[in-house]
Each structure stands twice: as structure tokens, then as C-alpha cells.
Amino acid sequence: MVVVQVIVGGLLLGAVYALFSSGLTLIWGMMNFINFAHGEFVMLGMYVALLVVLWAGGGPAVFGIAAALALFTLGVGIYAALIRHVLRGPMLAQILSSFGLALLLRYTAFWIFSANFVSLPQTSLAGTLNIGGIFLPIAQLVAGVAAVTLTIGLHLLLTRTTIGSRLLAVAEDRTAAMLMGIRPDRMQALAWGLSAGAAGVAGALLATAYPWSPSVGETFGLVAFVVVALGGFGSVLGSLYAGLIVGLIQAVSAFWLGAIYKDIVVYGLFVALLWLRPQGLMGKA
């Protein structure tokens, strides 16, 4: 029974991994740009949730939407002020830009919120469900289900709507898209907004179930790399499967080997993946 509980817990956390990783993979696939600050977006989403609950109150729907909007705006702003200018610059500038951004956001958060762990005050999601002997915190259950729904929603947005086609058209061929009357800059700004927004909601969902500090951004950033490397660069659906797998592996290795080894197993898997399949498990050569 304990094993079942570990597996279910891992899958629920993995669903949230899938949600924020789908944001990373969107930027990666569309612009061939790796955002080293993506984990920091998740971290900021958690603090937005905290601030909204403390100052305005409201349930998960309220602070979840607030985190999504706040991070969407931040993502668009960062694209307009920084990323747009470095995208066609030298490789060094691209790497430095998001890497510097990660440091800036992480240590500003340390400066403002201190290194102490915080958690949301009791929300309406407190409590535990008992389903046939498996104990599930309601917060985790809600976070997992919401994350899967949103990830599938993002996938549908990209594959079934006009906006999605335009985004993919820009990813495919910028110049051709421009000739079709699509404004690449707007689409790329939108992609950054969606990417950061997905990370923000994921952060708000995580905040309901887990305590955190500003340093979680680094951990989540690396988790997102692993998920994207496993699921394929640019594939939201791939991220969904890979996120669930990574969450499962983490939970099981934490259970069998001890909590400190769960990150070693995941990063080890990542390095092994890069070693054997540098183009991603499902990527093209």
C-alpha cells in the first residue's frame, strides 16, 4: 500500500513538472533558445501565490490565475526588453542573457524574501483523502489534476487553434511566416508569456502542497531540463509523459534510496541521456 502511495504521489508531482517543463520546451522548440531562468519563473509563481494570499486572500483559483497573469506579463516584458535583442546575436550573448536573468531573479528573491523556507497559510485545500487505504493530501491531488489539464490545454492550444498554428509557423520558418502576414515578434512575445505563465501557475500549484525557499528555482530549472531532454525538444505532449516519468523516478528513488539521492538519480539520468542520445530521447538526429 505504501508503494502505491509513493507512486501516486510521484505521478502527481510529476504532473506539475510536466506543466512547467512544457513552458521551457515551447521556447526551446520555437526559438532554439534554452531559458536558464525557467526554474526562477516557477519560484516567482510560488511567491506571487504567497503574496496574493497574504494581502488579498482568496482560494487556489484566485492566486493561481494571479500567478499566471503576473508571470505572463513578466515573460512578455523580458522578451521585449532582453530576449528579442539577443536572439540573433552571438551564442555567448544568448546563454549569458538567460543565465544572468536567473541569477538576478534568484538573488533578488533571496534579498527580498530571505533564504528561509515558507509555505502558504492553511488554504481550503488542507486535509487528506483516504481512497482505499491510500492517503492523498487534497492539495497534491488538486495540483496534479489541474497541472495535467493545463498541460493538455496548452497542447491543444498549440495544435488546434489559429494562434497555435501561427506560433508553430514562426517556429518553422520565420521569414515565410512573415510573408503570410504573421508578426514573428508578437508571436515570440506570446510564446514567452505562455511559457512563463505556465511556470507561474505550476509554481502556485506547488505552493499549495510544498514549502519552498528562493533556491527551489535552481532545482526546478534542472528538473525541467531533464524532462525536456527526455520528452523531446519542443514537444508539449512529450513533456507530459516525461514529467510523469521523472516525478515517478524521483519518488521511487527517494523511497528506496533515501531523499538525498533522488536528485542524484534524476541528474544522473539526464547526463546518461545526453551521453547516449544528445538529440533527446524522442528527438531527431
Partner 1 sequence: MSSTPGPGLTLARVRGTVGWGLFAAALLLYPIVFADAFYRDIGVTFLLAAISASAWNILGGYAGQVSVGHSMFFGLGAYPPLLLYTLFGWSPLVGVPLGILLSIALAMAIGMPTFRLTGHYFSMATIAVAELIRIFVSTWAFVGGAIGLQGPATARGWWDVTFRSELPYYYLFLAVLALVLAVTAVIERRRFGFYLRAIKASERAARSLGVPVRQTKMKALVLSATFTSVAGSLYALKTGFIDPDSGFGILVSVQMVIVAALGGAGMLFGPLLGALILIPLQTATNTWFGGSGSGLTYILYGGIIVLIARFEPGGLFELWHRLAPRRWRGGDAA
Copy the grid coordinates of residue 56: 488579498
Closest contact distance (angstroms) between CB of 97 and partner 1 is 4
Smallest Cα–Cα separation from 83: which of 45, 33, 29?
Answer: 33
Residue 192 binds to partner 1 (criterion: CB under 8 A): no
| Of 110 and 135, CB closest to partner 1 | 110
Q: What is the DSSP letter of 80?
A: I
Q: Which three cell numbers stand for residue 99?
A: 543565465
CA atoms within 13 A on the CB side of 130: 1
Give yes or no for residue 276 binding partner 1 (CB under 8 A).
Answer: yes
C-beta closer to partner 1: residue 60 or 75: 75
Residue 236 in the binding site for partner 1 (CB under 8 A): no
- Asked if residues 38 and 24 have their Cβ atoms less than 8 Å apart, the reply is yes
Q: Smallest distance from the beta carbon of 115 to partner 1, in angstroms? A: 8
State the DSSP code for 121: -
Least spacing, CB of residue 285 vs partner 1, in Å = 10
Tell which positions 244-273 bind partner 1, by CB under 8 A. 260-261, 263-264, 267-268, 270-271
* Min CB(198)–partner 1 separation in Å: 19
Q: Residue 93: CB partners within 8 Å, gap ≥ 6?
A: 86
Residue corresponding to grid cell 528538473: 223
Contacts (CB under 8 A) with partner 1, residues 159-188: none
Q: What is the DSSP letter of 83?
A: I
Binding residues for partner 1, per CB under 8 A?
A: 32-34, 36, 81-82, 85-86, 89-97, 99-108, 110-111, 218, 222, 225-226, 260-261, 263-264, 267-268, 270-271, 274-276, 278
